[in-house]
Chains A and B, each alone.
Chain A
Amino acid sequence: MSATLEKGVRVIKEVIDAPIASYFNSCVHCGLCAEACLFYTETGDPKYTPIHKLEPMRRIYEQEYTLLGRLKKMAGLSKPVTDAELKEWQELVYNSCTLCGRCSVVCPVGNDIVYMVRKFREGMSASGNAPDGIKGAAHRTVTIGSPMGVKLPAVKAQMKHVETDYGIPIPLDAEGAEYMVMLSSMEIINFPEYLGAIAKIMQQAGKSWTLCSTAFEATNAGMQIGNSDIARVIVSRIVDGAERLKVKTVISPECGHAYTALRWEGANLIGRPFTFEVKHIIEVLGEFQEQGLLKTDGKETDRLTFHDPCQLARRGGVIKQPRNLMNQVAANFVEMPDAGFMNWCCGGGGGASAIEEGEELRLEAFKKKKSQLEAVKPDRLVTACANCRIVLEEGLEHYQMDIPVVGLTEMIAEHIPEMEAKP
């Protein structure tokens, strides 16, 4: 078996549904989606207009699911979609789309464009037209266990480090724990403080929690590549782990698309509702804050701003919580223009950051973030997504902007007073 155009088209036929049909029929070519897309606003190239990124899928819809389209196809009046065309579209569907969903919230006729791009990626991947970068990540996640090639021993080593540094035990495979904490390999390798932060926060809140030896990696390259079969393999590990340990809630790490994959796509991928809840760590922190379980000392005094990860805010509905948390620990918190629901993407979401050949475009698109930052001139930038964090750091470095990026969870944890002396 291998990827073929025929397979790709068949998969697209599978995923086309009433919303997509309605969306394609509603489009009036007003071009407003382009104004919402940072790849267009920063390059001025009309080919990055979001709805245009779906043109091959639109034709397949018309040719397969409308009577007039079928007749046109039979009469040879419509151009069939070719493999070369899909290959050409790779740049539009992956490199220049981070699934940020800004287009979907501005479209005046109400088209959920990002919903369509996500579905189109099913066909793109099945036809072998997904970018190598994400394919590689998917490969590593399925075969090794994480997109960055991190295996359990590496996690265990980190656990040991944290236990030593913080003096708090890190539970592994603790059955019946309330929370099962997921990580992203980015956090395991680049931001180990995250695990320590969780340990401190859980300890203060007095909640039982655990890591899972068979499911520690939350990211899902299968979803980014847009392939449900592969995304299902990855998400099933987490479901199995959570059900094996009988946890009440699985906590998605500071990673936007991991949250989307688990919280919103997971149940649909495995075909049944979850027996546990899924929450983003920021949601959990928000709950702790409301319940008075999150007590902090002192405040950051430098000028801070918060970058909303798209999947958490616009695509996930967690907008108020990070602000409440920021205000608890920051004395000088300022908002960037368009912050919150309409925040601009870092430019590397939806798998885009894994595409090597897309780097130049990514950096071009980063000008949007640059201008947002220049408007408020923060000393540091806080966010809640490890991928955003990496992309932001790259962009800031490229444009020689000296703004450190920090994770919100870690920042909160730094203000949690030591509970007791080390044992």
Chain B
Amino acid sequence: MTTQTVPADVVAELDDLTVRFPTPAGLVRAVDGVSLRVRRGETLGLVGESGSGKSTTGLALLRLVDPTSGRVRVTGQDVTQWSRRRLRGLRRRVAMVFQDPHASLDPRRTVAASIAEPLVVHRLTGAGAARRRRVEELLDMVGLRHDLADRHPHELSGGQRQRVGIARALAGEPDLIVLDEPIASLDLSVQAQIMNLLRGLQRELGLTYLFIAHDLAAVEHMSDRVAVMYLGRIVETGTPAQIWQTPAHPYTAALLSAIPVPDPQVERHRRRIILTGDIPSPVDPPAGCRFRTRCPQARPDCARTDPTLVEVGPGHRAACLYAGDAVREMLADASR
């Protein structure tokens, strides 16, 4: 796959990326051999629980973390070895929206100053009236009134703050926007507004998103393709429909099964696949398949062989020695 030439519509690409952090407990393998491609105009959903490495993967696309090995390419250019100075230019082309809109805005700066920051840093508009016009244009795009421009973040609601975060990400007209849990800390009724806003902006402006979330239903709703991560690895990729209807990896199936459905009739008769235990430490991941310590279908050779992503359907791949079969047996067991 790495020998193929990169198609022109690939905006960003990770090639066998590993990221390791030294900690007092040992070397954390946050990301351990992740390859993915984001194509222009699409939303790639990255879903996983805490410790899965999904956020680190997103940060790697802006080179906000240093890869231990592997390659990071943005619009065809290999940025893995770029200097700090060159990276500043990269960060106009890849923008980021953070989880907590309260924490991600400087409390001492006004909304206008926050939104204008990419314009100032990259000298995209003149100062004064031109910049102000652009800020107002961005406020319009995200559905905020112009009079909010001179407010401070604490005077805004959570949803408004996240709109400011999105406006700031749009300011530099980036090729890719990394959305790291953009709705997780918002109220339910506001989450829906932000999801609609993001989809609307994508339709209008042809934006490309990497949508990172722990919420599989939201990822399914937002994405054209989905990658499921577990303990630093991608364990399954496919279309939302494939992931949702015919999950091939036991972890995906368990994740789906754990999501509560807002229908008491369904919930009452539902047999969940309850995983035992917790996600193992990324300092010392299990040998062989990383999921085997919690997998209801683990077999002896799962401890010996580290499964790679294999095709289980058109565009649908899973990293499981018994992809498909294991899930069928799990579901059969659960309903027994």
User: Is the A/B pair a real complex?
Assistant: no
